[in-house]
């Protein structure tokens, strides 16, 4: 999408083999909207991609691309911001995202706090001797008060030795009015299905156009610190979706991760079962019959050769055509703690936003769900946004394409996200796999901390990574380490 700056270095090798070992999937997040989310119920992409895509101006997101041309490269480069006329101090060509954010913060209005920077070299960009030979990128996006402004393109003022640095607006980006996503909104004027599937000459799993689910997602999404391989154009005159700025698994050798291909479930009992895949059959598909098979995820899910955790373990690519959290597909269930899981949305349904009760209302004029202080669309109505673990506002309808049945657990009640008291419906969703972490009040057998999962788990507070829940620089995907994690809530004077 737009509004992202990306720095990427191009590999020397003509072909790079994507190593899918110990990596995980799909990004979560969305910057607060200045305008209502586009589309309608069943909109094209019921969840906004990470960090506020679509954007208002394409220049809000830029790429800094670093390409090694004559290894070993060395030296520094500098960047000039035409908006301020300032130039950075020399930046090492192998800089990491945190240091780059600091360097750029010195030349942009609002400082480093106004920027989100992600990316950098990963293991595939090094040769056997540890020499950088590849390409990598950094995504630079303006956030906070600087979001939504038409920014000039940053300029490279000086180059390192043996490498080239360039700055580009986000490729294939689109602005607010014409953003398309292939995750729902299918019609006679769209051409989304064949971007991911083939009718003839398909791969083994689910008629995919690529060798695995992960590889298919990577045609549009930046995964594993590498650029999208390129959205597939089926060649018909109707509209395709371009590549997305939504990304995941940007951290090399993370301390904490939901690893793609992993088969063990931390804090999961044998009853939780293996990582499973969606069962497919020609002539129709029945989730009840699939559940009886308990089909472990196999080749074509995580990679072309193996299974385990894959994108579809947590997400559904089909939006309202699939079964996703907070969509019309499903029903309202009462759980062990007596609180409802809202899946089938209807006007005047009472939900929690944090600790406050609000009522769902579908605004037919703006074609968007809102949260109102009174029933029948009365009182004050606001867009149905909630602050997620990245400190950004995300639309709760079709929240981040999360599946209502994580790990395809069709025999369990549907799960919602962010519409329960203190967001504790997260516990029931995550607990489908991590069932040993589910406290007794949610149907588990353990006496655990009675808060939502994201009360403790999330992106590190020190901002060293922004990829929760895929990867993190902190162990166990914690936001802080104890005791700091504890005293964030249990402050002085609050302990017995």
The tens digit of pLDDT for each residue in 217-233 reads 998 887 887 777 877 88
CA distance linking residue 91 with residue 104, whole number of Å: 10
pLDDT at res. 393: 59
Q: Which H or E element spans position 426? A: helix 425-430
Write the burial class of residue 412 (CB in 10 Å: 0-12 exposed, 13-18 middle, 19+ buried): middle
Every domain of the chain and the residues it spans = 4-169, 323-455, 456-496
Question: How does pLDDT run across 447-485, given as a tens digit for each residue?
Answer: 778 788 988 998 888 877 878 899 998 999 999 998 888
Nearest-angstrom CA–CA distance, 402 and 383: 20
Looking at residue 11, its pLDDT comes to 31
Give the CA count within 13 Å in the CB-facing half-sphere of 417. 30
Please report the pLDDT score of residue 489 as a whole number.
82
CA-CA distance, 457 to 476, in Å (whole number)? 8
Report the pLDDT averaged over residues 225-244: 77
Number of helices (H), then strands (E), in the chain:
6, 21
Mean pLDDT score across all residues of the chain: 77
Segment 376-425, tens digit of pLDDT: 999 999 878 776 665 555 778 888 889 888 998 887 777 888 888 888 88
53, 418 contact by CB (below 8 A):
no
Question: Do residues 35 and 29 make contact, with C-beta atoms less than 8 angstroms apart?
Answer: no
- 221 and 213 Cβ atoms separated by less than 8 Å: no
> From CA 47, how far away is CA 26, in angstroms rounded?
12
- Report the C-alpha gap between 418 and 426 in whole angstroms: 7
State the pLDDT at residue 93.
93
Is the pTM higher than 0.85? The answer reads no
The token duo for 286 is 């029945």
The answer to whether 67 and 10 have CB atoms below 8 angstroms apart is: yes
CA distances from 323 to 316, 331, 409 (A): 7, 11, 11
The C-alpha atoms of residue 18 and residue 43 are separated, in whole angstroms, by 32
Kindly tell me if the per-residue pLDDT of 51 is higher than 60. no
Greater model confidence, 91 or 320: 91
Backbone angles phi, psi at 296, to 5 degrees: -70, 145
For residue 183, is pLDDT > 60?
Answer: yes
For 288, the 3-state DSSP assignment is: helix
User: What's the alpha-carbon Rg for the chain, to the nearest Å?
Assistant: 22
Rounded CA-CA distance 62/18 in Å is: 24
In this predicted structure, the answer to whether residue 428 has a pLDDT above a threshold of 90 is no
The pLDDT score that the predictor gives to residue 4 is 29
Q: Which range has the worst mean pLDDT, 41-45, 211-215, 216-220, 374-378?
A: 41-45
Percentage of the chain exceeding pLDDT 90: 26
CA 126, distance to chain mean position in Å, is 26
């Amino acid at each position: 999408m737009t509004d992202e700056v990306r720095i990427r270095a191009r590999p020397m090798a003509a072909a790079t083999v994507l190593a899918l070992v110990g990596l995980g999937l799909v990004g979560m997040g969305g910057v607060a909207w200045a305008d209502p989310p586009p589309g309608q119920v069943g909109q094209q992409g019921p969840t906004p991609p990470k960090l506020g895509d679509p954007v208002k101006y394409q220049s809000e997101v830029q790429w800094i691309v670093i390409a090694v041309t004559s290894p070993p490269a060395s030296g520094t480069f500098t960047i000039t911001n035409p908006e301020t006329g300032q130039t950075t101090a020399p930046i090492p060509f192998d800089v990491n995202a945190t240091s780059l954010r600091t360097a750029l913060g010195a030349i942009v209005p609002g400082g480093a706090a106004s920027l989100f920077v992600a990316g950098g070299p990963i293991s595939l960009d090094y040769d056997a001797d540890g020499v950088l030979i590849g390409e990598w990128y950094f995504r630079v996006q303006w956030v906070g008060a600087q979001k939504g402004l038409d920014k000039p393109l940053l300029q490279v003022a000086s180059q390192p030795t043996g490498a080239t640095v360039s700055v580009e607006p986000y490729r294939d980006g689109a602005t607010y009015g014409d953003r398309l996503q292939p995750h729902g909104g299918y019609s006679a004027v769209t051409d989304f299905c064949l971007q991911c599937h083939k009718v003839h000459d398909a791969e083994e799993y689910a008629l995919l156009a690529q060798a695995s689910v992960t590889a298919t997602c990577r045609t549009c999404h930046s995964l594993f610190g590498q650029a999208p391989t390129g959205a597939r154009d089926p060649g018909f005159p109707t509209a395709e979706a371009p590549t997305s700025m939504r990304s995941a698994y940007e951290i090399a050798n993370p301390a904490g991760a939901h690893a793609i291909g992993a088969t063990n479930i931390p804090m999961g009992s044998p009853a939780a079962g293996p990582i499973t895949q969606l069962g497919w059959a020609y002539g129709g598909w029945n989730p009840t019959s699939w559940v009886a098979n308990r089909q472990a995820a196999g080749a074509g899910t995580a990679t072309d050769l193996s299974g385990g955790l894959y994108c579809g373990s947590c997400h559904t690519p089909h939006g309202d055509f699939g079964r996703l959290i907070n969509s019309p597909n499903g029903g309202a269930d009462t759980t062990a703690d007596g609180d409802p899981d809202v899946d089938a949305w209807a006007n005047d349904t009472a939900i929690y936003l944090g600790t406050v009760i609000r009522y769902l209302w579908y605004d037919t004029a703006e074609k968007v769900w809102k949260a109102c202080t009174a029933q029948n669309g009365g009182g004050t109505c606001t867009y149905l946004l909630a602050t997620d673990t990245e400190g950004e506002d995300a639309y709760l309808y079709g929240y981040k394409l999360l599946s209502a049945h994580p790990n395809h657990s069709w025999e369990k009640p549907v799960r919602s996200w962010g519409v329960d008291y203190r967001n504790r419906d997260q516990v029931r969703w995550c607990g489908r796999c991590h069932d040993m972490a589910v406290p007794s009040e949610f149907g588990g057998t353990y006496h655990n901390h009675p808060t939502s999962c994201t009360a403790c788990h999330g992106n590190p507070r020190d901002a060293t990574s922004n990829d929760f829940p895929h990867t993190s620089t902190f162990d166990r995907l914690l936001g802080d380490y104890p005791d700091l994690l504890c005293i964030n809530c249990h402050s002085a004077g609050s302990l017995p």
